[in-house]
Amino acid sequence: MDHATKRTERQIAANILKGSLGNMIEWFDWYVYASFAIYFSAAFFPAENKTAELLSTAAVFAVGFLMRPIGSFVMGRFADRKGRRASLTLSVSIMAAGSMVIALTPSFKAIGVWSPIILVVTRLFQGLSLGGEYGTSATYLSEMASPKRRGFYSSFQYVTLISGQLFALLVQIILQKVLTNAQLFAFGWRIPFVVGAFGALGVLWLRLSMEESDQFKAKNKNSAKAGTLTLLAKYPKQFFTVMGLTFGGTIGFYAFTTYLQKFMITTTGLNTRLVSVINFFALLIMLIIQPIFGHISDKIGRKPLLMCFGIGGTIFTVPIFSLLAHVHTAWAAFALMLCGLVIVSCYTSVNAIVKAELFPSEIRALGVGFPYGLTCAIFGGTVEYVALWLRSAGLESLFYYYVAFAAFVSLIVYWHMLETSTASEINVDSVTDAELQSTQVEGR
């Protein structure tokens, strides 16, 4: 059987689009929780203190992250053994079901403690889904992309991730326009969860028509070792490299996206509706930047962009947050947020392809997803909680230094790692596949 399928750029783009749209819906469902927390926190965690309510919902957000390493392990193993398409299809199905459950769960006043219990359990399953999505999606996009455009195509993982967040913000802005605050607190917050659930059903249909990657079909399909911890244990350096380069990236990303929305409201003192608009347009520009930076990485390599993030995050994080805490205009807040997002984009645009290039096909989804999931669970998912806790303790400025320190730690990792675009395991797999095809042709 000829494993190497010759695809046109149009066919490659079609498969990338199908995989990416699923990624967008998964992240929309995930970010809807963060975007609408200010409206539904009292429904699940009634308290006299607003900060206490937000802390409770932030804690559940972090709990969802705790399932991500489990999801990345379970779904990564599944993807390496049964296929990238099968894993991506399963993950979006779980996310759709979870969103519908949250939309239909009665409030604390109606069913008491069962309300937050249902919320926590549902977020655990959504964390499982999202944990599996990242590693498998990064693997699929990198394997499906044409060799000279891997950085460009793999950048669409964060294009769609940010699209999901933008979609969540857009829905929030629209609902804020058509509903009153009382209506948003009463029932309006349930609407985006319903939207996400139905959107995921449409994406599920698209993902069923995706092609499987050639590298999986050639090397993983009949391999008993694919996706095992025994095989992963043979790549300790790559495993810890993924954790190291993710550490600063995940903290920086969630600090400048998810948490910054609440920071502008609680610390800067800007109007909630205005903050939603600022976030929308800043993230829109960040989305546009991703493929541009990804294309640049195909020309000059991945390492220079990672170094820019490490240096920029270390030097400019504290000044950005310090200035943002005292600005009084929307334009100033927008400019400062955008500065942070441009810095973070040097990581987000290339992180998927860098991690995928570290591992061979047989362990790629698990190798990319599991250490990433662990790091996100410990550090990414707790960003908002740490920030709010420091704020409640009167030590909010320490959070700025925490984010800068994380960027510095990753900078050290970037400095010592090889340029993955020239030492890529994907290139090795491609050569092996070509040799296999040649051998089969000669033997006929």
Q: What is the DSSP string of 197-224?
A: HHHHHHHHHHHTTPPPPHHIIIIITT-S
Give the span between the Cα atoms of 316 and 312, in whole angstroms: 6
The pTM is what?
Answer: 0.82
For residues 359 and 345, give the distance between their C-alpha atoms in angstroms, rounded to a whole number: 23
Residue 347 one-letter amino acid: Y
Q: What is the DSSP string of 64-130?
A: HHHTHHHHHHHHHHHHHHH-HHHHHHHHHHHHHHHHHHHHHPPPHHHHTTHHHHHHHHHHHHHHHHH
Measured CA to CA, the distance from residue 100 to residue 85 in angstroms comes to 23
Per-residue pLDDT of the chain (444 residues; tens, 9 = 90+): 344 567 777 878 888 888 778 778 878 887 788 778 778 877 887 766 556 566 666 667 666 667 878 989 999 888 888 888 888 888 888 888 888 999 999 988 888 878 888 888 888 888 888 888 888 888 888 888 887 889 999 898 889 888 988 888 889 889 988 999 889 988 899 999 999 989 888 888 888 888 888 778 776 565 657 778 888 899 999 999 999 999 999 999 999 988 898 899 988 888 888 998 898 899 999 999 999 999 999 999 999 999 999 999 999 999 999 999 999 899 999 999 999 999 999 999 999 999 999 998 888 989 999 999 899 888 987 898 899 899 988 899 999 999 999 999 999 999 999 888 887 778 665 544 444 444 334 443
Q: How far is CA 402 from the centre of its chain?
A: 21
**pLDDT at residue 214, rounded to an integer:** 78
pLDDT value, residue 278: 92
The one-letter code for the residue type at 223 is S
> What topology is assigned to 9-442 in CATH?
Growth Hormone; Chain: A; (1.20.1250)
Alpha-carbon gap, residue 367 to 224, rounded angstroms: 16
Return the pLDDT at 431. Answer: 47
Give residue 58's pLDDT: 66
Contacts of 151 (CB under 8 A, 6+ apart): 294, 295, 296, 297, 298, 302, 349, 350, 353, 421
Specify the DSSP element, H or E, that contains 420: none
Q: Which two tokens stand for residue 293?
A: 């930076």
User: pLDDT tens across 74-100, in order?
Assistant: 998 888 888 888 888 888 888 888 889
Residue 132 and residue 95: Cα distance in Å, rounded? Answer: 11
Q: Six-digit token pair at 285?
A: 């520009």
Please tell me the number of Cα atoms within 13 Å of 270 on its side-chain side: 25
For tokens 């909680």, the residue is 385
Rg (CA), the chain: 21
> How many angstroms separate the CA atoms of 336 and 261, rounded?
13
Give the tens place of pLDDT for each residue, 113-128: 788 888 888 888 888 8
Phi–psi pair at 262, nearest 5 degrees? -70, -35
